[in-house]
Amino acid sequence: MGYADLFRLDGRRVAVVGGASGIGRESVRALAAHGAEVLIADKDVPGAEETARLAAAERPAPGAGPGPGPVSVHRLDVLDDVAVREAAAQWGAVDGLVVTVGANVRKRIADYTPHDFERVMALNLRAYLTLVQSMAPGMAARGRGSVVGLASMRAFQVEAGQSVYAASKAGLVQFLRTAAEEWGPSGVRFNAVAPGVVRTPLTDQIAADPQWYEAYAQASALRRWAGAEEIAGAVTYLVSDASTYVTGSVLTVDGGWTAVDGRYEPSL
């Protein structure tokens, strides 16, 4: 393979779980544009169908290679373990698994309910157990595969109201690192992407409050929010052969948020 094809995914099958919206949707579009066959799994079927439509409409620049890979839509609730196992069996061999489901309940610890706790943990962390159990062995049997999970800068830096979300994302990082060790000898890679603040439905609550929105924009080195399409490159990289020696890692895509302290700008 020449370097010009380093990120190409022709002939690869990639499942994107959570592909009906936000980062998942843009990841589907990017993966398909690089030639992958993409299976979109989501509980939101109309959203997944819209993603499939957008992916199919992706057209390469004249002379820049083939059009997008085929995209299919699969209804799936990741909290239904039986359905996840059945879906994985039905899909058969996949080369990549990208998981972008996630939820946040922003409340102080004093106000958190057990139900809130379980909801966030179930989607952000426990769902990975059955997904990985169902799909990693098949990848291991073929000696190759890449699993990409969506963590967050909240795995490392917190603020009031982020307790359970931050714990779930820190837990996810350690879960994926352990998976990297357990399946590494079989050639299966596991990595996390840790975005900063990205304008998707998940952040509607923040965008509705101009002060909160602007404070978050100013917290990163780039002084702005990300678009979901700015996360898709990291996902594509980690699925592709450009990252064959990358496993157990966390790729921050946060506009520099976790690099800077942000409390004070000296007048130098």
Ligand X SMILES: NC(=O)c1ccc[n+]([C@@H]2O[C@H](COP(=O)([O-])OP(=O)(O)OC[C@H]3O[C@@H](n4cnc5c(N)ncnc54)[C@H](O)[C@@H]3O)[C@@H](O)[C@H]2O)c1
Per-residue x/- track, 106-145, ligand X (CB under 6 A): -----------------x----------------------
Asked if 15 interacts with ligand X (CB under 6 A), we say: no
What 3-state class would DSSP assign to 123?
helix
Nearest to 254 by CA among 102, 105, 151: 151
Asked if 201 interacts with ligand X (CB under 6 A), we say: yes
165 catalytic residue (yes or no): yes
- Stretch of 96-104, 108-116, 134-142, 258-266 contacting ligand X, by CB under 6 A: 96-104
Asked if 72 interacts with ligand X (CB under 6 A), we say: no
**Structural tokens at position 30:** 């990017």
Q: What is the DSSP string of 138-149?
A: HHHHHT-EEEEE
Asked if 78 interacts with ligand X (CB under 6 A), we say: yes
Asked if 42 interacts with ligand X (CB under 6 A), we say: yes
- Between the CA atoms of 194, 200, 202 and 203, what dihedral angle is there, to the nearest 10 degrees? 90
Which residue in 128, 165, 216, 237 is the catalytic one? 165
Q: Are 41 and 19 in contact (CB under 8 A)?
A: yes
Number of residues this chain uses to bind ligand X (CB under 6 A):
28
Q: According to CB under 6 A, which one of 37, 68, 73, 100 is a site residue for ligand X? A: 100
Please state the φ and ψ torsions of residue 168, each to the nearest 5 degrees: -65, -40
- Stretch of 83-91, 105-113, 136-144, 194-202 contacting ligand X, by CB under 6 A: 194-202
Indicate the residue among 40 and 139 with the shorter CB distance to ligand X: 40
Alpha helix stretches (DSSP H) within the chain: 22-33, 45-56, 81-91, 114-121, 127-142, 163-183, 204-207, 210-219, 229-239
**Would you name the residues annotated as active-site residues?**
165
Rule CB under 6 A: which residues touch ligand X? 18, 20-24, 42-44, 47, 76-79, 100-102, 123, 150, 152, 195, 197-198, 200-203, 228
